[in-house]
Amino acid sequence: MLNGNMITRERIASMEPRIRPFVRHTPVLRVDMADFGRPPLGVDLKLECLQHSGSFKARGAFTNLLERPVPKAGVVAASGGNHGAAVAYAAMRLGHKATIFVPEVSPPAKLERIRGYGAELVVGGARYAEALAASEDFAEKSGALQIHAFNQEETLVGQGTLGVEIEADLPELDTLLVAVGGGGLIGGIAAWFAGRIRIIAVEPEGAPTLYRAFEAGRPVDAPAEGIAADSLAPKRVGELMFPIAEAFVERSILVGDDEIIAAQAALWDRVRIISEPGGAAAFAAILSGRYAPAAGERVAVLVCGANANPAKF
């Protein structure tokens, strides 16, 4: 039985030094929102988009491969792209075979990255849920170790190590904005901070998984559409993360596709940071004014993924 109570600060703290040799300590960049045409406000950008494999997902991938026994059949994962790239990269580094299932909406940049790490790539199904079902069938038949993108204890623990890093980088932080798809990232980070800072979820209007779960009091199916559908649009948030989010995530803010596109463009135009739509979603909440910090509030934004086609920038 899945149990969110197993995602503890102690477990995250003990995992952080184990994965440290395999992941980057990503930088923090302080920007003034006046440079983006907004009222003056200092905001810290945690650039996890510079992580190995192009996103925060490397943390959960390495945690799974280091914590769980890997059979001869290797590992299998379903992904909109980033989790698959992370699992492929971790498997390459640790000498394991990887098979990655992705839906048809996955962008070419992510598929190229997965192939580049030597994984076997299987494309099929319209959305993530179909790719997940195919990967589960493969795992049952082959004996490969299934690594879930967000509803897996080790995945949340690994993503939680980013919270350890953020606290070390920004000890005076008041508020952190985090993009949400299945919720593995925000679940792990919220478990680490455990109410010691304000954590705000940011989701696309076309894929409001946590927003709908908060309304219903439990994970429920939500639309899975919009520009960030490849990374922020599973059908619902994970069962593991939801009790953590209920306890430690203040609320969810929805942003439109046009606001996400504007955030992507602004990050490139003003600070030369490439971000994919899901990676720019949290910044979109600040740039659009949908999240308005109080006077004196120290705010950080997690820029969590960069697997976009560089040509568009």
Q: What is the pLDDT of residue 4?
A: 57
Q: To the nearest 10°, the Cα dihedral for 189, 191, 192, 193?
A: 90
Average pLDDT over residues 229-248: 86
Residues 6+ apart with CB under 8 A from 10: none
Q: Give the pLDDT confidence of 175-213 residue by residue, as tens digits.
A: 999 999 999 999 999 999 999 999 999 999 999 999 999
Q: What is the pLDDT of residue 104?
A: 87
The strand pairing partners of 44, in sequence order, are 30, 300
Amino acid at the residue 12: I
Q: What is the pLDDT of residue 170?
A: 98
Structure tokens at 23: 């992941």
Q: What is the pLDDT of residue 1?
A: 43
The strand pairing partners of 201, in sequence order, are 178, 252
Average pLDDT over residues 82-96: 96
Q: What is the pLDDT of residue 224?
A: 82
- Helix 184-193 with 153-169: angle, nearest 10 deg: 60
Q: Give the pLDDT confidence of 25-58 residue by residue, as tens digits.
A: 999 999 999 999 999 999 999 999 999 999 999 9
Average pLDDT over residues 301-305: 97
**Where residue 308 falls among pLDDT bands split at 50, 70, 90?**
confident
Q: What is the pLDDT of residue 303?
A: 98
Sole residue written with tokens 């993360």 = 241
Q: What is the pLDDT of residue 154?
A: 98
Q: What is the pLDDT of residue 230?
A: 62
Average pLDDT over residues 117-138: 90
**Where residue 233 falls among pLDDT bands split at 50, 70, 90?**
low
- Residue ranges of domains in the chain, CATH in brackets: 9-56+152-312 (3.40.50.1100), 72-143 (3.40.50.1100)
**Where residue 311 falls among pLDDT bands split at 50, 70, 90?**
low
Average pLDDT over residues 88-100: 98
